[in-house]
Amino acid sequence: MTDARLLNRLAETDAYRDDQPLPDDVWTSAVALEEIELRAERRPGSGAVLTVRPARNPRRLALAAAAFALVIAVVLAAVFWASDRQDLPDVTNEAPLTPLEIGNALNAAIVSGDPAAWRSLYADDATYTVVDGGFVASAAFRHGQWRGGSSDPGRPVDRPLSADRGFLNSALGTAFPTFDWIPADGATTNGFDDLAVNAMAQYAQGVTRVWSCTQADLTTVVCAEVLAGHAFLSEPLPPMTDTFTVVDGLITHQEYDTSSVFVEPDTFPLRLEYQNYIASTRPELEDVLFSDLARMLVTPDTVETHRQLIAEWKAQS
């Protein structure tokens, strides 16, 4: 209560005789205490020892005093509880995700089409490697060895995903041209964007499960590609794995291994069928959804359209 409101309350109490009870709307413990002190000071001859009359409503004053004592007790208990918990561990901070939880979270982010959640699982300085023994992955599937000028075509090359250029899709002309999916990183396109395009393309193609993951040790999870529900896969998927190194709940390295693959599944024929379906039913969208023959443009503006139309095409085929 402000000083002005308290003075107004006291002024209201002065409108009643000392032997007349105050009405309920002006009686509070604070008003009562202030009034007692004020009236004691007003009495002639008051000095070091103050004598006051009994409160005008002893029962209400007792209740107010009891309530005040309860408040004090609660405050003291809270202070004691807080000081007593200073040595206890902070349980408000969740533990970092385990490697297996990271694998499951990646699955969930891709299947739900959430690029921000997907990106949040990678460290900013994460690196990427393709291991394929010299075999260059078909443009119809994902991507292959980025050679980086190496004289040894089979030598894996670690690359920072933050590199200011696309090094997976754009250099190899794969099914999904690189797009700036992660504008917050300040680069036009980089490795994160390359992987994000592939991840969101899986979402557009109706994938319901990307990997089957197994935690290998405290910092590693090995995820075999499954791609369940993929609209353009018409044959069994060969053994290809992504191995993620996880430190403090973030991916610090990803290795894509196609070394045992000799012939990749060719998704080109079905992607071409889908493009022809768009050309015949939505001709105005063909140039929006495709950059070339069976090359899907997967961007934040087109991904949901692709997903809906792919499902439509699949249902009628």
Give me the pLDDT at residue 256, please: 87
Is residue 162 within 8 A of residue 135, CB to CB? The reply is no
Is residue 129 within 8 A of residue 152, CB to CB? The reply is no
Is residue 57 within 8 A of residue 22, CB to CB? The reply is yes
**Which of the given ranges, 21-25, 105-109, 139-143, 193-197, has the highest pLDDT on average?**
105-109
Stretch 250-277: mean pLDDT, rounded?
87
Q: Is the pLDDT of residue 120 over 90?
A: yes
Q: Return d(Cα 23, Cα 7) in angstroms, integer.
A: 17
Give me the pLDDT at residue 68, please: 62
Q: Return d(Cα 217, Cα 27) in angstroms, integer.
A: 70
Q: Which residues of 147-162 are buried (b: 16+ CB within 10 A; e: fewer)?
A: beeeeeeeebbebebb
CA distances to 19, 21, 161, 199, 212 from 57, in Å: 10, 6, 78, 76, 77
CA dihedral 225, 230, 236, 239 (to 10 degrees): -10
Give me the pLDDT at residue 172, please: 40
Q: Is the pLDDT of residue 161 over 50?
A: yes
**Which of the given ranges, 44-58, 69-83, 95-109, has the highest pLDDT on average?**
95-109
Stretch 240-249: mean pLDDT, rounded?
95
Give me the pLDDT at residue 175, please: 76
**Which of the given ranges, 77-81, 218-222, 254-258, has the highest pLDDT on average?**
218-222
Question: Which band of pLDDT confidence, cut at 50, 70 and 90, is reported for residue 143?
Answer: very low
The more confident residue out of 49 and 233 is 233
